[in-house]
Chains A and B, each alone.
Chain A
Amino acid sequence: MDLLANLATGFAVALTWQNIAFCFLGVALGTLIGVLPGIGPVATIAMLLPITFHFEPASALIMLAGIYYGAQYGGSTTSILVNLPGEASSVVTCLDGYQMARQGRAGAALAVAALGSFFAGCVATLILATFAPPLAELAFKFGPAERFSLMVLGLVAAVTLAHGSLLKAVTMIVLGILLGLVGADPEVGRMRYTFGLPQLTDGIGFVVVAMGIFAFGEIIANLERGDNREVFTANIKGLWPTREDFSLAWKAVLRGTGIGSLLGILPGGGAVLGAFASYMVEKKLAKDPSRFGKGAIEGVAGPESANNAGAQTSFIPLLTLGIPSNAVMALMVGAMIIHGIQPGPQVMQERPELFWGMIASMWVGNLLLVILNLPLIGIWVKLLSVPYRLLYPAILVLCCIGIYSLNNSVFDVGLAVLFGLLGYVFIKLKCEPAPLMLGFVLGPMLEENLRKAMTISRGDPSVFVTRPLSMSMLLIAAVLLILVVLPAVRRKREEAFQEP
């Protein structure tokens, strides 16, 4: 009955008028940026971070969380109608969603995506509420060795499920960790890789890296591809999924929710992995896999449920262990620290109203999102008809303001230019930037825990395999790695990612 009492605490916070308003603001903004290509949750949250200082902590976190999971809803709209994923997590939705739109079934695709996401959001919120307290208990037993092994597991999982070359993904992770070490050494304060620049003492800001690599690199790549968007807006009115659609979709929604929730919990997980994995599973299980890529409704229902579930459960490592599992969660850490809250298992005990309020708000937010995305879909579609040539200069302005205002630093904006160049080079060399970002986010913590663990064990590396929890995590990581390298699995993986 603890759960009910806790949820009651949460809803008491989430259902105040003020917090409903913040939640609405968050999910509306999230949908907006999800619809607009070229500006993602990272850029938006970064931009709003300095402002949230003036809010109540609970309101601030409720709004920022809303932006993240709201973006998953919005991202599906662009994928289906324009074949242009608004968010990385909606890339797979393009495959079948856009085909459905071309067949005049955009309405059905949008409805299934929204309803699937809503269902997944509700389930994932419940999972979060149920499993966060025992996990936090467990987290208190975690020493540096366990934390290190958990992060290794997360990084390995990110590699196995990243698409493209394995070797490149691994190298990008290590390079990311290396970039994360720039700045003063946490223990002795010695400057590392700062090249004598005082602005680098605290390290490179992740907003700088994220905006440079994701936003700027992406915009340049979009410009070179040219604007050949074809928006299917004429025939989305009044189309409700048929009975047959529902009977095909509901199982995919269930499976997608499960897969997304599970993968979201992993550090390195989040919304993107779940969506890809779910698409692979649906295609595998389908009686007639050849329908996929030609407008199979399961190919929309599964991944869309998975990305929303994953977006929500990715809060679990942050709230229970204090480990951010992706760039958005790293920004949430920033938001919490602004308010003097150190993320970790103690948050639940010390600030129950904050913890449970945020969880309860996710349910409220998902309800708001269904309303925003189904009856009001027309508004978002109108936004889609704004040509990209008007959008990208505006997006660039917002990015610049976002980077600058985080530290009022011109240096950061200049550094972002460098990362923009790097991001574009990575796109040209087909190096996925997401693993780099994850390594960058986890890098400092990885080093800190490695050093602590080795100090405690007096320099004996066997500490990572003699402690049962740590060993089992490393074992899972090893199995994952071996599985991917096996030729048979490797071929399947490549097939799955090579879909049109």
Chain B
Amino acid sequence: MIRGQQDFWAGLLFVSFGVLALFVGRDYPVGSAMRMGPGYFPMILGGLVSLLGLALTVRGLLVRGEAIEKLAILPLVLVLASVAIFAWTVEDFGILAAVAGVVVVSSLARGRPHGGEILLVTVVMCALAVGLFTKGLGLPFKIWPG
């Protein structure tokens, strides 16, 4: 019975953020209007996000709206995984490994990856990361693993 998919789910997302804010912040001292505590503004905002989200959810139930397009799981997972790999490798394994990880994994996000092209991009970006960012601009990257 959901007529507007986008509104409905966006509303629920907002409501969950709002409720989370209210719940996590439930112990923050609110203070008074004259001396606002750390909890005053967050409570107002949390309540506001929940209410607005609720309104959106209701609109999604009542008013016909657009459906949500299909999610592209493969690009989503691979692109984000490539960034996570960077975070995981850059300090322990060095910038070369991190860059290669990002390029190889994210390249798989498109259909029909081409090995030669991936190698080319990896080499170019590794050269940039070391030559320009590490040596040239002095960013504190470790180059090699170990």
Report which A residues bind B (CB closer than 8 A).
Answer: 50-51, 54, 165, 167-168, 170-171, 174-175, 177-178, 181, 185, 187-188, 190, 192-193, 195, 216, 219-220, 223-224, 227, 389-390, 392-394, 396-397, 399-401, 404-405, 408, 410-411, 413-414, 416-417, 420-421, 424-425, 428-431, 447, 450-451, 454-455, 457-461
Q: Do the beta carbons of B49 and A175 come within 8 Å of each other?
A: yes
Chain A residue nearest to B55 (CB atoms) is A167
Q: B98 near A: Cβ within 8 Å? A: yes
Instruction: List A contacts of B37 (CB < 8 A).
Output: 188
B:54-85 near A, CB below 8 Å: 55-56, 59, 66, 68-69, 71-72, 75-76, 79-80, 82-84
Q: Decide if the interface of chain B is mainly helix, strand, loop or mixed.
A: helix
Q: What is the CB-to-nearest-CB distance from A460 to chain B, in angstroms, rounded to a whole number?
A: 8
Known: A390-B117, A429-B68, A450-B41. A421 touches B110 (CB 8 A): no
Q: Do the beta carbons of B71 and A171 come within 8 Å of each other?
A: no
Known: A178-B17, A193-B21. A216 touches B80 (CB 8 A): yes
Known: A193-B24, A413-B87, A417-B87. A178 touches B45 (CB 8 A): yes
Q: Do the beta carbons of A171 and B102 come within 8 Å of each other?
A: no
Q: What is the CB-to-nearest-CB distance from B22 to chain A, in angstroms, rounded to a whole number?
A: 10
Instruction: List A contacts of B137 (CB < 8 A).
Output: 51
Q: What is the CB-to-nearest-CB distance from B46 to chain A, in angstroms, rounded to a whole number?
A: 7
Q: Do the beta carbons of A417 and B14 come within 8 Å of each other?
A: no
Q: Do the beta carbons of B87 and A174 come within 8 Å of each other?
A: no
Known: A178-B21, A185-B38, A190-B38. A394 touches B124 (CB 8 A): yes
Known: A171-B53, A174-B52, A393-B107. A400 touches B102 (CB 8 A): yes
15 cross-chain CB contacts under 8 A:
A174-B45, A175-B49, A188-B38, A192-B25, A192-B38, A193-B21, A220-B72, A220-B109, A389-B107, A389-B117, A393-B106, A394-B103, A405-B133, A459-B32, A459-B35
Q: Do the beta carbons of B102 and A393 come within 8 Å of each other?
A: yes
Bound form: Cα–Cα A185–B41 in Å? 11
Instruction: List B contacts of A188 (CB < 8 A).
Output: 37-38
Bound form: Cα–Cα A416–B85 in Å? 12
Q: Do the beta carbons of A420 and B90 come within 8 Å of each other?
A: no
Q: Do the beta carbons of B106 and A417 come within 8 Å of each other?
A: no
Question: 0/1 per residue, B108-122, Cβ < 8 Å to A?
Answer: 011001100110110
Q: Do the beta carbons of B80 and A420 come within 8 Å of each other?
A: yes
- Residue among B99, B107, B110, B118 with max Cβ neighbours from chain A (10 Å): B110
Instruction: List B contacts of A430 (CB < 8 A).
Output: 6, 10, 66
Q: What is the CB-to-nearest-CB distance from A174 to chain B, in angstroms, rounded to a whole number?
A: 5
Known: A429-B68, A455-B34. A165 touches B79 (CB 8 A): no
